[in-house]
A and B are shown apart, each in its own frame.
Chain A
Amino acid sequence: MKQKILFLILSLLVPLNASAKLKVVTTISDLAALTQEIGGEFVEVKSIARGDQDPHYLEPKPSYAVLLSRADLLIEVGLQLETGWLPVLLTQSRNPKVQFGQPGHLSAAEGVAILEIPTGRIDRSMGDIHPEGNPHYWLNPQNGLVIASQIAQRLAQIDSAHAFDYQNNYRQFESRLKHKISEWEKKLVALKGKKIITHHKSFSYFVDWAGLQVMGLIEPKPGIPPSPGHILSLINLIEKEKIPLVITENYYDPKPSQKLAAKTGIKVLILPTSVGGEGDIKTYSELFDALIQRLAEVL
């Protein structure tokens, strides 16, 4: 009996990293999906935020510190998206490999053309703005190519034994995604110039790529819920501009959108912003398949 108890205690103390796979932790599920495409069988990828969670606000749960403590590579969105919860987890993780500035810490924003970088004086009267620009850049598939390339380079750097595989996987992924992009862009021709309203600026990169026109936002300022006055101004805008659609991210309160729909008849689309945001979206491509299909159905 004593031996069994001793074995149990020892087995708990032995790290569960017996496999030789490179352990990658990403802050959002889209980065995990892209890393899986590039890393293939040589990586074990876990995401901190699920696809149906708002990545701005996460509880820094102790289990996340455990994940980070065993990671060989951390990939974050950057641009202060995770600033409310990642720094404390990094300290708690005690993992020197994934600290900022180390090869095991990658900000996927490197190399991406960032939109909405505020200029001039900024303060919080403008809402919860991101001083370094809009961080939702993964929602343009062209940026997906840049992110994947960054991931491939970093994987090759820290796991040079499989550098060729990562390069090969990247080439294959690039070819597949470019093919998909050309398919999506053909479908989007019919949607070019369509007017929409969005909840938060999560879709800025998507609409920029898709050629949609964002006429207004449910949030008067980033992170600030709408006042009745703001809703009224949106109702007037919808009627004046004949806007057919309002989009809400599936982790935000849909009530303001539903209120607009009740008053004006505008269609409401509740959309995921990340892989895993809905049960059947398991890859980066499937996210855009879903977004474009759902938009095409209502616009």
Chain B
Amino acid sequence: MKMSKILRVLAIFFYCSLSLTSQTHAQENEVESLKEEIRALNQTVQKLSTVVEKQNQRIDELEQKPLPKEQEAVSPKDPAPAITVAETPPAETQSETTRSLGAWKYKAGSGGAWKLLPDISVIGIFSGAYFSQEPEEDIEHDPTRTGFTLQEVEIAFQSVIDPYVRADVFLAVGEEGVELEEAFITTLSLPKGFQVKAGKYLVPFGRQNQKHVERWPFTNNNLPNRFFFSGEGFNELGVEFSYLFPTPFFFQSQFSFTQGDNEGNFDGGRKEDFAYDGRLVGSTDITPNLTALLGGSVAYGFNNTAPGNQTLLLGGDFLLKWKPSRETGIEWQTEYIYRSLQIPGGNQQEGGISTYLLGQWSRRWGAGMRFDYFGFPRADFDAWRISPIASFYPSEFFRLRAQYDYLDESGVEPSHIGILQMIFNMGPHGAHQF
């Protein structure tokens, strides 16, 4: 029994020591493997640290060095972005610095509040002239004496005001001071081809009347416009309604309701003496390079010869323009104006026509000829004038013109006039109507 007890104790001891030994071995193994893992982790962390360090160095280098052009914006060799139907906000609402286009980023133009300034341009028109007989009256904007004339310095401010209207303001600085030539708004968002213009503007009567001095095809105004509208042109305060017909060709109607201030035509003194103007104009491209335009105008109002005396103006104009390239072209325009003026004791009827041909054969050179006749029908006076002109364009923003006028007015000796004109344009490209 004793022996068996001793054996049992020994067996238990042996078992316990064995199990303890195996446990110790297991723990030692575990510790070793943990150590291994820690070493491996340390190595990984060190490797990662090296990578991060290198990346940071690379980023610093890239930040210090200017990017190549291709990488500065979109790298064209990158995969194209997936097309999404996501709402693209209008350009002006996007961030000024970086805009996101799908997966791409690109640098947008830097800028600031100056981008909201209106387009500002200054156009100077100076001339030197010789008159064989000095003119008796001073016609604004035309050279009217031997020597130098400041025809006009035009200062223009043009901008879109909001999503609904744009505004155009033109100041004219002349020898007698500054005057407001035009200041008007034009709607941009009326539906169905309607448009409203309101403010002070050159009334759409014929073609010449709507042009500023720098856009005149010759260095001075044509005879009918000068006689009927004086130097300032038919320029009124008012509102114009126009409509572009949905025809296959250009066909537009304009109607103006104006204050009626034009001297000699619509300067009636009564409060109801407004002036009304209407114009229909159609245009089509006969060939891709040849365009024809036909217009008809009418203006009605009250003059100051006596209360209630009426003035009726009728006009017709025609333009044929062939422009195969920037460097070559020919245009032929003819414009006729008729006036019926109710005066005390009768009705005065008079009319005048102006026709010209202008050609350009190279980027810098052009020439033309104008013929004006006033007195068709004749009142108490008639005149005709022929005017050859040569133009030289050193650049798009600077023009020189030389013109000769032979003027024959009734009751006056014919006169010879030579005019040299210089026009310069500061600021953005001036977009002008056809």
Contact = CB atoms under 8 A, between A and B. Distances in A.
Contacts of B284: 63
A60 B166 contact: no
Contacts of B252: 62
Contacts of A115: 69
B57 interface: no
B344 interface: no
Interface in B156-211: 160, 163, 166, 186-191, 193-195
A149 B80 contact: yes
B83 A69 contact: no
Given A84-B429, A96-B188, A101-B91, A61 B69 contact: no
A34 B390 CA distance: 43
B248 interface: yes
Given A62-B283, A63-B291, A100 B85 contact: no
A243 B317 CA distance: 54
Interface of B: 69-70, 72-77, 80-81, 83-85, 87-88, 90-92, 99, 101-102, 104, 106, 109, 160, 163, 166, 186-191, 193-195, 244-250, 252, 281, 283-285, 288, 291, 293, 321, 323, 325-327, 362-364, 395-397, 428-434
Interface in A188-216: 208
27 contacts: A59-B323, A61-B285, A61-B434, A62-B293, A63-B249, A65-B244, A65-B250, A94-B188, A99-B163, A101-B91, A102-B90, A111-B104, A113-B72, A113-B74, A128-B396, A140-B76, A142-B76, A146-B76, A146-B80, A149-B81, A150-B101, A157-B85, A160-B85, A208-B69, A225-B363, A225-B364, A253-B327
Contacts of A143: 76
Interface in A132-176: 132, 140, 142-143, 145-146, 149-150, 152-154, 156-157, 160, 163, 166-167, 170, 174
Contacts of B189: 96, 99
Interface stretch (A9-17, A232-240, A262-270): A9-17
Interface string A115-129: 100000000100110
A83 B429 contact: yes
A54 interface: yes
A180 interface: no
B380 to A, nearest CB: 39
